[in-house]
């Protein structure tokens, strides 16, 4: 009798399984496109080491921004240098200077995308080379680390923290979600903002799980170039050394365990890890 009951239950489950599979919605198509958001010429590379690792050195760093297509939703990760720097010449004054060749709006137009069609903007942190073109996307919902957001809205914030690009969101003109720890942006685990403080109080990186290429980790400013990544170097302007090193531990652990492609956003040698614009990784 028990045997017959087990067979009956098994048969019922077998018949139900195809129906359940049909009811499950297909995963949204996901892709990742790199956009050119400028170049920073670092005149004093030693600024990127609090242990004086790069005396007398200089280097050009890329500024990467990224378009994520998740089904019919569009997200930008990091918003690059301000367009006021378009065509600017490099100079030797100060630690660094910067230039922009083309704007985000111009590049998106080549893909047939209007600024108002961007649903989500996520920023790794509030430094000028990651939020410069944020005001061009006022219709988008903003995701930013909560501790960075707290500094931006605090009248007692440090003088070097510039809230101006965030004015629209600070004033209530746009939707904003301060991210306390990790955030699953689209609710399916495939686009994750991950809490990696230290460079700034609320610094985050982005994990994108592509079907073909596999997991991709976009570094924000966890590291700025390969040698900096390999040595777990801490820039002298980071807000917390211990947090930076702990975040390196988490970042590298994730990269190893997931078999992820690491994209150091400022590293020119990492540009080729993704297809050239306007192609996308999928």
Q: 232-275: per-residue pLDDT in tens?
A: 999 999 999 999 999 999 999 999 999 999 999 999 999 999 99
- pLDDT mean over 192-198: 98
CA atoms within 13 A on the CB side of 46: 9
Model confidence pLDDT, tens digit, residues 98-136: 999 999 999 999 999 999 999 999 999 999 999 999 999
CA atoms within 13 A on the CB side of 183: 23
Level-2 CATH architecture, domain 26-273: 4-Layer Sandwich (3.60)
- For residues 75 and 125, is the Cβ–Cβ distance under 8 A? no
- For residues 61 and 40, is the Cβ–Cβ distance under 8 A? yes
pTM, two decimals, is 0.90
Instruction: Give pLDDT, residue 72.
Output: 97
- For residues 261 and 272, is the Cβ–Cβ distance under 8 A? no
In this prediction, residue 93 has a pLDDT band, given cuts at 50, 70 and 90, of confident
pLDDT beyond 90 at 4: no
Phi, psi of 166 (to 5 degrees): -100, 5
Model confidence pLDDT, tens digit, residues 51-67: 999 999 999 999 999 99
User: Burial level of 238, CB count in 10 A (0-12/13-18/19+)?
Assistant: buried
Query: Which residue, 224, 228, 184, is CA-closest to 206?
Result: 184
In this prediction, residue 160 has a pLDDT band, given cuts at 50, 70 and 90, of very high
**Domain boundaries in the chain?**
26-273
Query: Which residue, 282, 258, 261, is CA-closest to 270?
Result: 261
């Amino acid at each position: 009798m028990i045997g017959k009951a087990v067979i009956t239950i098994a048969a019922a489950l077998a018949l139900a399984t195809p129906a359940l599979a049909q009811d499950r919605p297909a995963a949204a198509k996901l892709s990742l496109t790199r956009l050119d958001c400028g170049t920073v010429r670092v005149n004093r590379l030693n600024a990127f080491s609090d242990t004086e690792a790069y005396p007398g050195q200089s280097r050009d760093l890329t500024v990467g921004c990224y378009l994520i297509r998740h089904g019919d939703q569009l997200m930008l990760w990091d918003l690059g240098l301000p367009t006021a720097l378009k065509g600017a010449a490099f100079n030797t004054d100060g630690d660094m200077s910067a230039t922009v060749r083309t704007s985000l709006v111009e590049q998106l137009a080549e893909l047939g995308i209007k600024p108002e069609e961007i649903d989500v903007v996520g920023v790794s942190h509030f430094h000028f080379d990651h939020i410069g073109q944020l005001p061009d996307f006022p219709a988008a919902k903003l995701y930013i680390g909560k501790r960075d957001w707290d500094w931006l809205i605090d009248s007692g914030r440090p003088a070097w923290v510039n809230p101006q690009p965030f004015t629209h969101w600070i004033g209530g003109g746009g939707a904003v979600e301060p991210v306390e720890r990790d955030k699953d942006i689209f609710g399916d685990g495939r686009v994750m903002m991950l809490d990696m403080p230290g460079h700034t109080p609320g610094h985050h990186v982005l994990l994108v799980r592509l079907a073909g290429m596999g997991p991709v980790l976009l570094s924000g400013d966890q590291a700025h170039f390969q040698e900096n990544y390999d040595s777990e170097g801490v820039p002298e302007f980071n807000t917390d050394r211990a947090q930076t090193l702990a975040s390196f531990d988490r970042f590298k652990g994730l990269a190893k365990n997931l078999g992820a492609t690491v994209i150091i956003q400022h590293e020119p040698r990492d540009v080729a890890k993704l297809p050239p614009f306007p192609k996308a990784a999928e």
